[in-house]
Each structure stands twice: as C-alpha cells, then as structure tokens.
C-alpha cells in the first residue's frame, strides 16, 4: 500500500479521536504509521496534521480554556523541559519511556479504583505546577506531554469541555516544533507532498467525530480518556520491549 495512503488513514483515525477528546491525534496516528513505515520523515510529516488537529480543537473549544491556569501549567513546564533534555543525555530514552508508561498505568489503576469506590480525589492547586513540570520533563526527554495533560484534567475533575479547552493550550508548541524542524532543514518537498494526502484526512476525521463529540457525556468522556491513556501505556511498553529484553538477557547471562 502507498505510504501516503497509510499515513492518511492513520491520521484519519488520530483526528477522529482528537475530535472526540480534544487530544490524542499524534498518540494514535504515530504508532499506527510505524507499524508499516520505519521512517523519520513520518514523524516530521505528522507534525503538520498534529498542529491542524490542535487548531481545529482550538477553534471549537477556545472559550472553555482557563488562560491563567494554562499559563501557570506551561510556566512550570519550562524548567521541566530543560531538566528533561539534560536527563536524556544521561539516561536511555527507553528508560524514560518506561517510566512514563508506569506513571500512566498507575494513574489508570487509581482512577479505576476510585470509580469502583465512587470517590474522587479533591483537586489541589499545586497540581498545575507539579504536573506542569512533569509534562515539561517528558516533553523535553521523549517528546510526549499529552498523557500528563490528560492525567492533570482527570485529577482536577474537569468536565469534557473544560478538558478540551485545556488541551488546546498545547497548540503553540506545535508551531515551535515545526519552526525548529524547518530551521534544521528537515522539511523537504517529499514531506510537503505527503501533506496533500494527510491534511484532508485530518479534516475529514475531525468532522466525522464532531457530531459525536457534542453528545458525549462526562462519564463517557472519562472512559474515553482512560482508554486513550491505556493505549498510550501499551504503545510505550511495546516500544521499550526490545530494550528490556536485551538488557534483561544481559543481566541474567
């Protein structure tokens, strides 16, 4: 199958999820793409549809974003990014991805227990600074901050629209990422040609999800976020499995 069609199909799925929850497009699309395409250009190409999905979400849910809360969260993320980049120089990326996977699984288990008990953790104002720093750390270390943002909205007991509004605060980082990639000369005519297939798929996937997103209730949104986080954890564990196998074999031998 043509690589452009594969990426378009993957991003249709990613944009559909993004349209439902306000995030997760890259989280869904990239693992699907890498099942068929082992190419760094797939990551570069995905920056544009990721930004497009974020912009569509921003257009629909910007009014639900608490600007002050978002600014505090991302201000705390800045030193986290610096520490994450420095940590990556000392620690293998797979170790950091494994750590993120463990954090996500722990959160999902705690949420399931709370759902079973019918309780909810009382929101704490310090969480925006703590999890903002953690989101920045993993953004700098492994390029992933979405799961930590999702954990924050869950712990703060945000409803579906407020959560989507908060997720749109990550849109500026999309422009920064594309700017840095372009500055380093990594965007070629091949990548731009692929966008002719991928970007329409993003718009189509998002628009297909929009009627459903308007009907999704708080409980349904909560379940969707837990499923999305679980998918993220499985993806991270799958990516680190060869690393773990290699190092465990060396340790046991």
- Confidence class of residue 236 from pLDDT cuts 50, 70 and 90? confident
Residue 122 has what DSSP assignment? P
* Alpha-carbon torsion (27, 114, 80, 56), positive or negative: positive
Q: Looking at residues 100-121, what average pLDDT do you find?
A: 82
What pLDDT score was predicted for residue 222?
84
Indicate if the pLDDT at residue 134 is higher than 70: yes
Q: How far is the C-alpha of 222 from the C-alpha of 79, rounded, in Å?
A: 30
User: Distance of alpha carbon 200 from its chain centroid, rounded?
Assistant: 21
Express each pLDDT in 44-68 by its tens digit: 888 889 889 989 999 888 888 999 9
Which is more confidently placed, 205 or 249? 205
Q: How far is the C-alpha of 122 from the C-alpha of 104, rounded, in Å?
A: 19
Residues 121 and 154: beta-carbon distance below 8 Å: no
Q: Looking at residues 166-195, what average pLDDT do you find?
A: 83
Give which of 43, 56, 45 is closest to 167, Cα–Cα.
Answer: 56
What is the tally of structural domains in the chain? Answer: 1
Range with the largest mean pLDDT of 69-78, 83-92, 166-175, 237-246: 69-78
- Confidence class of residue 130 from pLDDT cuts 50, 70 and 90? very high
* Alpha-carbon torsion (229, 231, 235, 238), positive or negative: positive
Residues 27 and 19: beta-carbon distance below 8 Å: no
Residues 139 and 131: beta-carbon distance below 8 Å: no
Give which of 199, 244, 234, 203 is closest to 92, Cα–Cα.
Answer: 244
Containing H/E element for 139?
helix 127-142
pLDDT averaged over every residue in the chain: 85
Give the structural domain span for 39.
3-252
Q: How far is the C-alpha of 13 from the C-alpha of 9, rounded, in Å?
A: 7
How many C-beta atoms surround the C-beta of residue 232 within 10 A?
Answer: 23
Express each pLDDT in 170-182 by its tens digit: 888 888 878 877 8
């Amino acid at each position: 199958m043509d690589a452009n069609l594969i990426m378009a199909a993957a991003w249709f799925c990613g944009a559909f999820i993004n349209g439902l929850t306000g995030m997760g497009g890259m989280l869904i699309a990239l693992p699907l793409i890498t099942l068929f395409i082992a190419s760094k250009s797939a990551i570069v190409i995905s920056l544009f549809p990721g930004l497009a999905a974020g912009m569509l979400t921003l257009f629909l849910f910007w009014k639900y974003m608490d600007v002050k809360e978002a600014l505090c969260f991302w201000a705390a993320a800045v030193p986290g990014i610096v520490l994450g980049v420095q940590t990556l120089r000392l620690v293998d990326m797979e170790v950091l991805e494994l750590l993120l996977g463990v954090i996500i699984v722990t959160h999902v288990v705690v949420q399931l227990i709370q759902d079973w008990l019918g309780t909810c953790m009382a929101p704490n104002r310090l969480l925006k600074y703590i999890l903002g720093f953690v989101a920045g750390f993993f953004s700098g270390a492994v390029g992933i901050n979405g799961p930590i943002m999702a954990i924050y909205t869950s712990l703060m007991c945000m409803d579906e629209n407020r959560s989507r509004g908060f997720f749109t605060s990550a849109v500026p980082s999309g422009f920064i990422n594309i700017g840095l990639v372009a500055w380093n000369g990594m965007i070629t005519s091949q990548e731009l040609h692929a966008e002719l297939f991928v970007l329409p798929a993003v718009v189509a996937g998002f628009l297909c999800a929009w009627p459903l997103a308007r009907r999704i209730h708080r409980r349904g949104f909560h379940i969707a976020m837990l499923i999305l986080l679980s998918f993220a954890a499985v993806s991270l564990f799958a990516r680190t499995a060869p690393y773990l196998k290699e190092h465990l074999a060396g340790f046991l031998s």
